Structure 1
Amino acid sequence: MRSGVHRFPRQDRVVFGRPAASALVEEADRLGCSRLLLVCSPSARASSYVDKIAGALGDRLAGMHFEMLPHSPRECVIGAADAARAASADLIVAIGGGSVIDACKLAQQVLWLDLDREEDLDRLPKGIDPDRSADLANASGALVRSIAIPTTFSGAEFTSFAGVTVSSTRVKEVFDHPLQVPCTVILDPEATIGVPNWVLMSTGIRAVDHCVETFCSPASLPYADAMAVEALRILLETLPKLKAHPLDLNLRLQAQLAMWLAILGPSGGVPVGASHGIGRVLGGAFGVPHGRTSCMLLPSVLRWNAEANAERQRGLGERVGHPDRPLAQVLEELVEALEEPTRLRQAGLGESDLIELAERSVASGFLSGNPRPVRGTGDVMEILRLAW
């Protein structure tokens, strides 16, 4: 008999298909917040979209912070918390992709616990907390929460865990707390307009990765299965159309909605596999954008896992209209159609880098949820050679 537990994140609302400027004002009023800090990447300094949101806030705007870097370095987490303190902010608004949103998620804990140094993060528990049991017994600050306005399709805004990189070692750590999840997500398709097309396409494949590794997980859940199938169906149809018609706001919204459905498995406690596990290391240690790690790894991980879950892979392919071809082939062709890289060497990795990547991946502890057990560096090298 199948059994399991699906855990819902402590997220109040998802507002979609509306301009973020007006939606954010309404959410601030609903939450009783009057001092909002906007947090973005440096490239957003010249963004008319961010200016529009700032202007709509009026005297609710407490400050703007443009120092968030890729892969959420620890120093950016502390920097965002320091900016919130300096502005006396009672709400953090993350505008950006997964790196901005993850850093803001952990910055909340930094504020709650009154931490002020990168080393202080070592006091926090690491890893995903499946029981959402973390408490704030030691909290000394106000419970400042966040709202996310995502500009990509990575899905970080729907999870309670945050991936953060230690710059000195290039090791990515995961911090989880049930209240880290943004209390509100605003899906405004206009927010994605200024983002390079390759970022949208590759993070679209990241959403595909969430669907596939959720459905193919040995610990999959019925609710998550249904969401993954519907999300993958939409993404397979929408992403090529969006590639051809990049200014179509309805297509952008459809991709956003599919991204939301796609992440409901991981956010509900379904463990993901080696594509995500190796990808976290590939991003943190080698600087490869997370969307592109999925482009290069997912088909090869599926091929390596087929020994353990070929039937499950076939079942997913059948449900999304591809009953006669291997799922790995279908997805590899999708990546190629989006003109994204399918090989690790296209990211500039040399053969000598593969051993380091394999060793770091095994040491990371991120591979425990893979359908086919990963028993050591040799197994990871087999996957990497398939992806090379």
Structure 2
Amino acid sequence: MGISYFRTAGTLITGTGSIAEVGEQAKKLEATKAIIVTDKIIRETGLLSKVTEPLSAAGLEADIIDDVVPEPPFENLEQLAAQIEGKGYDLLIGVGGGSALDITKVLSIMLTNKEDVREFVGIEKVKNPGVPMILVPTTAGTGSEVTYNAIFTDTRDKVKKGIVSPYLLPSVAIVDAELTLSVPPAVTAATGMDALVHAVESYTAIRAGELTDGIALQAIKLISRSIRKAVYNGKDLKARENMAMGSLLAGISLGNAGVGAVHALAYPLGGKFKVPHGVANSLLLPFVMKYNAVADLKKFAEVAEALGENIEGLSLREAADRAVAALAQLSRDVGIPSSLKEVGVTASDIPALAEEASKVDRLLNNNPRWLTMKEIQKIYEEAYGAVEEPSLT
């Protein structure tokens, strides 16, 4: 066994009603001036009262900034940083989906590191720890509350880029399924499938290991058995609890084992075509799995079993094929587009997409099968013309 690191949030608080702990956690961090970072939709839902009331009870009044935009570009970060710099905030509280949490994480380090934010793109390029953070997800999807990654759109290059640093981990993460009850079906589907992609990719990644394998498999089980209920009966609290825990576990696995080619191929879709991250990932998952599975048939057979597929009597190849088909069906069941045509991609766009994806070495190097540009382009072509369930090649 080689040397590995395992990192997650400093303190994890989970369970229905756990948001009530936010005030006490802020006190333990000795906060004197806090700001809540969120978006306008979250503010309009009234969810913020579940955060501000416990803070007030603990004697801490928090300012609010709600200018986070979906799939945020670096310009959104710079705009928000300018608004909070020099105000003396010693605690940032991120409330929302992955965009709000990623913004909060990077605002934290922007307050203590004066380089241009684009200088942080890549792995461990942040010099100084940031301002303490509490992260509160309101969707079950990104797992951003427990990862040291943050993803942004580079509008210049029209591609997603990642900042990776242990300084992006929060002091506290609070995961309360009640905060997800009002999430609409389409968002529940996209974020939930995103979490499932995190679990599958991290389980089959090159950097996967004993510490992450069990976590990832449990995430696959929880999400695959609950996402249909969460999408089509959003008030089902048990389904929401399973999704929240599944997303959290997938985030922990992702944060330590990493992900692979699904994310690498999804980044250009988000950057150029504004395809939401979860949609891009789940659309591409079966097609990338089709290529990856032959590199580790045993692990992909185990994915099939975790998905609830009956693999008794099947060969490893047949079981792995069953995993690919099951994930394609699940994605369709919750309303995710099944081809690139449906998200605005044309055949002439594919070579440029392949070229951009081939540059995402950080993720491609963690993929269980080495993919050349030719293979990446073929995956895009198959996802573009998809009419049947993918099967192994």
Do the structures match in fold with TM over 0.5? yes
Q: Distance in 2 between matches of 1:319 and 1:52?
A: 35
Q: TM-score, with normalisation over the residues of structure 1? A: 0.89
On the 8 A contact 1:299/1:331 being kept in 2, the answer is: yes
Matched ranges for 1:138-149 at <5 A? 143-149=130-136
Q: Partner of 1:199 in structure 2?
A: 187
Q: Give how far 1:84 is off.
A: 2.9
Unpaired runs of 5+ residues, structure 2, are: 385-393
Q: Give how far 1:280 is off.
A: 2.1
Q: Partner of 2:30 in structure 1?
A: 32
Q: Partner of 2:210 in structure 1?
A: 222
Matched ranges for 1:230-249 at <5 A? 230-249=218-237
Letter in 1 for 2:246: A
Q: Give how far 1:291 is off.
A: 0.9
Q: Partner of 1:310 in structure 2?
A: 297
Residues 42, 25 of structure 1: CA spacing in aligned structure 2 closer, same or farther, 3 A cutoff? same
Unpaired runs of 5+ residues, structure 1, are: none
Q: TM-score, with normalisation over the residues of structure 2? A: 0.88
Residues 337, 171 of structure 1: CA spacing in aligned structure 2 closer, same or farther, 3 A cutoff? closer
Q: Partner of 1:48 in structure 2?
A: 46
Task: Could you list the structure 1 runs, at least 4 aligned residues long, displaced by more than 6 angstroms after superposition.
Answer: none
Q: Partner of 2:391 in structure 1?
A: none
Paired residues in the alignment total: 371
Deviations 1:306-336 (A, max 9, x none): 3322332113223443215521101111111
Letter in 1 for 2:250: A
Deviations 1:236-284 (A, max 9, x none): 111122233211222211111111111222212x232211111122212
Q: Partner of 1:5 in structure 2?
A: 3
Does residue 340 of structure 2 align to residue 344 of structure 1? Answer: yes
Q: Partner of 1:373 in structure 2?
A: 370
On the 8 A contact 2:97/2:138 being kept in 1, the answer is: yes
CA RMSD after TM alignment: 2.1
Deviations 1:165-184 (A, max 9, x none): 22233232211221211111
On the 8 A contact 1:40/1:68 being kept in 2, the answer is: yes
On the 8 A contact 2:90/2:132 being kept in 1, the answer is: yes
Letter in 2 for 1:344: L
Q: Partner of 1:83 in structure 2?
A: 83
Does residue 157 of structure 2 align to residue 169 of structure 1? Answer: yes
Q: Distance in 1 between matches of 2:287 and 2:92?
A: 39
On the 8 A contact 1:189/1:253 being kept in 2, the answer is: yes
Q: Partner of 1:101 in structure 2?
A: 101
* Aligned with residue 190 of structure 1, among 170, 178, 183: 178
On the 8 A contact 1:97/1:154 being kept in 2, the answer is: yes
Q: Give how far 1:6 is off.
A: 3.5
Letter in 1 for 2:61: L
On the 8 A contact 2:270/2:280 being kept in 1, the answer is: yes
Q: Distance in 1 between matches of 2:247 and 2:50?
A: 25
* Aligned with residue 299 of structure 1, among 280, 286, 290: 286
Q: Distance in 2 between matches of 1:146 and 1:50?
A: 16
On the 8 A contact 1:37/1:87 being kept in 2, the answer is: no
**SS in structure 2 opposite 1:49?**
coil
Does residue 259 of structure 2 align to residue 272 of structure 1? Answer: yes
